[in-house]
Structure formats: C-alpha cells, structure tokens
Amino acid sequence: MQTNSDKSPEGVRFPAVLVGVAVGIGGTGAALTLADIDSPLRAPLTLFFLVMAPASTLGGALRGLDGAARAVLAGVGALALDLLVAQAMLALHVWSVRGGVLAVTAVSLALFLSVREAHARRRRRRTTNSRRTTNSQG
C-alpha cells in the first residue's frame, strides 16, 4: 500500500522518448499551421499542440499535486487558456489560425519561463538556508 509519504515530490516522470515524441508531434502541428501547408494531419496535430503546450507548462506549475489531479487540472487549464486566447483575439478582431497558434505559444512560453524562474528561486533559497544552518551549527 502506498501512502502520501511514499510519493516522490517530483511526481510522475515520463520517459525521455515519450516526451520527445510529444514535442515532435506538437512542433509538427505548429509548423504545418504556421507554414500554411495543406495536409490531412494538420488539424489533429495542431489541436494536439494547442492542448499539450499549455497543459505541459501548467503541469510543471502544479508540482505539489498527485499525478491524476495534476493531469486533470493541467488539461482543464490548457483548455481555459486556449479559450481565453481565442476570445481575446475575437474581441480585438484579429482572429486567425496562425495568430492563435502564435499567441498560445507565446503565453505558454511566458508561463514556462516564469515557472522555471520560480523553481530556481526556491532551489536557491533552500541552498542558502541549508548553508546558514550548517554554518551556525559548526
């Protein structure tokens, strides 16, 4: 039986090959859309990108949760982000498929960088605090 104390704080880790395949699929969908290449795979691959780019970024921000809750919240958050981007673009009368892909990419990248910076700051703070306690004990 697994208890909460048995779970690692990092959560579920996916194999590097699986992550690489997902990035390749999403990147291909974005590239097909941005290059305006007609292909039967363009729509499903672009949809995969539009859901997975923000979902993976939000999943990184939700590290404290268990795997299932993290996946559900990241998926719902990704759909909400996509809808907010589409609504803003429609309200501003600048809607286009290419623009939507670029906007979701920009928002996902900005969120990814802010989450990464927050984790780096937290790591630095832990290192500094552990050095202080080690120095004060010695």
| Residue 36 falls inside a structural domain | yes
| Residue 3 falls inside a structural domain | no
Residue range 38-88, pLDDT digits in tens: 999 999 999 999 999 999 999 888 888 888 898 899 999 999 999 999 999
The arithmetic mean of pLDDT across residues 3-30, rounded, is 74
The arithmetic mean of pLDDT across residues 29-43, rounded, is 94
> What is the pLDDT, as a whole number, of residue 67?
83
Number of folded domains that form the chain: 1
| Residue 69 falls inside a structural domain | yes
Domain that holds residue 73: 13-137
The pTM score is 0.76
Residue range 94-137, pLDDT digits in tens: 999 999 999 999 999 999 999 888 888 888 887 776 666 666 66
| Residue 105 falls inside a structural domain | yes
| Residue 4 falls inside a structural domain | no
| Residue 8 falls inside a structural domain | no
Q: Which long-range contacts (CB under 8 A, 24 or more apart) does 54-61 make?
A: 54/78, 54/81, 54/82, 54/104, 54/107, 54/108, 54/111, 56/22, 57/108, 57/111, 57/112, 57/115, 58/111, 60/112, 60/115, 60/116, 61/111, 61/115
